[in-house]
Amino acid sequence: MTGYFQWIILTAITGSPLGSALFLLVFYLVVDRFTLGLLPDPFRWVMRRRREGQLERLLLANPSDGRARLEWAGLLVDRKAYRKAVEVLRPNLEHGDDDVQTVFTMGAACVGAGFHEQGEKLLAHAQQLDPDFRLGEIDLVQGQGRLAKGDFTGAKQALEALVKHRRGTVHGRVLLARAMEGAGDDGSAALMRDEAWREYVSAPGFQRRKERLWAWRARPSRPATYALVLVLILFFLGVVVGPRASAWAAQMEGSAGGQYYDPSLSGGADPASDE
């Protein structure tokens, strides 16, 4: 709503609805890049989709390129296109690929696609191949999958292992609090959320930027405060700034369309009196 009223005010000033919308879009993207980092990076999205297209064309020309299949499947998993990732990566496993990267990616795709039993088996095998893979990434995927299917005890076990691997993780602690709450341990869940917030506050800037949304889930009062501030700004814009900007824009439009003169430049005389 705040952006809508800003667009109305800017349109009244500039007279260009499309230009105002584009300006606000670019403005918000730039401000977000250097502050909260909540909006997705459009350039990164474009580059990743472009890479997906390159890999797809490469596989059309050479279907036996297992490395291209693995990379494409990883990109699909990252953007949560799990079922397509399963189909893309399936030939690699059928050809006998048994490296930890392939097994993990297929396991994550299966869990995300809802094939929990197959995914759990693949992730367990990946953990046998490399227990410390990506500092607990296997535990994270297992915990998320078990939470999704309501296995709170199993999720708690996996996420506790994740927190041991990643001592500063806010994401893992918030998920662990959900698992504890689902298992009926509300007290431990509340303490875990407090711990997640403390980790967020003490983390370096780049880490806070990465885990800000998860920290807000641990402490919902923070985004609620921001929302209240936005409402107050919206009220100020709508009640004070909006009417004045509209009146000023109407005055400028009337001056441009009529016989406007500046008395300070003409010595106070009306140009029409010379006729």
Q: Do domains 24-130 and 131-232 have the same CATH topology?
A: yes
Instruction: Report helix, strand or coil for 259.
Output: coil
Q: In CATH, what number does 131-232 get? A: 1.25.40
Evaluate whether 178 touches 189 at the Cβ level (below 8 Å): yes
Query: What's residue 274's pLDDT?
Result: 47
Rounded to whole angstroms, the Cα distance separating 139 from 130 reads 12
Q: Which CATH superfamily is domain 24-130 in?
A: Tetratricopeptide repeat domain (1.25.40.10)
Chain segment 27-67, per-residue pLDDT in tens? 766 665 666 666 666 778 889 999 999 999 999 999 999 99
Evaluate whether 162 touches 169 at the Cβ level (below 8 Å): yes
Query: How distant, in Å, are the alpha carbons of 59, 88, 135, 170, 229 from that of 64?
Result: 7, 12, 31, 40, 56
Choose the weakest-confidence range: 80-84, 128-132, 247-251, 266-270: 266-270
Chain segment 246-275, per-residue pLDDT in tens? 666 566 666 655 454 445 545 545 544 444
Which residue ranges make up each domain of the chain?
24-130, 131-232
Instruction: Report helix, strand or coil for 52.
Output: helix
